[in-house]
Amino acid sequence: MMRSLMAGVVALVLTAGIGGLSRWEWEADKTSNAAIRLAWRTRSARVQECRPPTAEELSGVPTHMQQREICEGRVLAYRLRVSLDSQVVVDEDIHGAGAREDRPIVVFREFEVAEGTHTVEVSFEREDGGEMLTDNLALTPATLELSTRLELNKKEIALITYDTETRSLVVQGYGM
């Protein structure tokens, strides 16, 4: 009888242990800070230089695979500059994604900041394509700029992103 009772109690305690560990209260981020996040994805312009193939190049290719012109080019990078409370925190070129850097450009940065008011200046400027032929110029403006004051409480995140409708940088989430 005593053994059965003990067996029951132990089983209940172990089961309750599983229940308790299944709902452990935990704070993944104990900071009382806020965050400013930059995240957008956009297509840049592609520049290329085209020329007719030489006779030598044509001779090695079957007729049905011969091209009228051979083009070599690249996707233009953007220069991202971010100032946070008048201090430059990012100043670098952002290239297209992928091994050949010909995929869309992705910006993804996050800055932890203390709660309170912060001034943020973002500049996103396409490099000069020079005299080369370009395409997709209409997709994203050559320059995107944003200068704003964000008021953030504890744990709030302000998202700065590119709005394809207004074709400008905007703030979403908290901070406005």
CB 42 within 8 Å of CB 162: yes
Place of tokens 């080019």: 73
The window from 30-38, 53-61, 76-84, 129-137 that contacts another protein (CB under 8 A) reads 30-38
Q: Determine if 132 is a binding residue for another protein (CB under 8 A).
A: no
Q: Of 49, 104, 134, 143, which lies in the binding site for another protein, with binding defined by CB under 8 A?
A: 104
159 binds another protein (CB under 8 A): yes
3-state secondary structure of 63: helix
Among 77, 81, 103, 148, contact with another protein (rule: CB under 8 A): 103
Q: Which residues contact 153 (CB under 8 A, 6 or more apart)?
A: 34, 115, 174
Rule CB under 8 A: say whether 165 interacts with another protein: no
Residue carrying structure tokens 């297509």: 43
- Report d(CA 27, CA 170) in Å as an integer: 30
Q: Draw the binding track, 46-75, toward another protein (x: CB under 8 A; -: no contact).
A: ------------------------------
Q: Which of 169, 131, 161, 154 is nearest to 48 (CA)?
A: 131
Rounded distance between C-alpha atoms, residue 58 and residue 163, angstroms:
46
Site residues (CB under 8 A) for another protein?
Answer: 3, 6-7, 10-12, 15-16, 18-19, 21-29, 31, 33-35, 37, 39-41, 97-99, 103-104, 106, 108, 110, 155-159, 161, 172-174
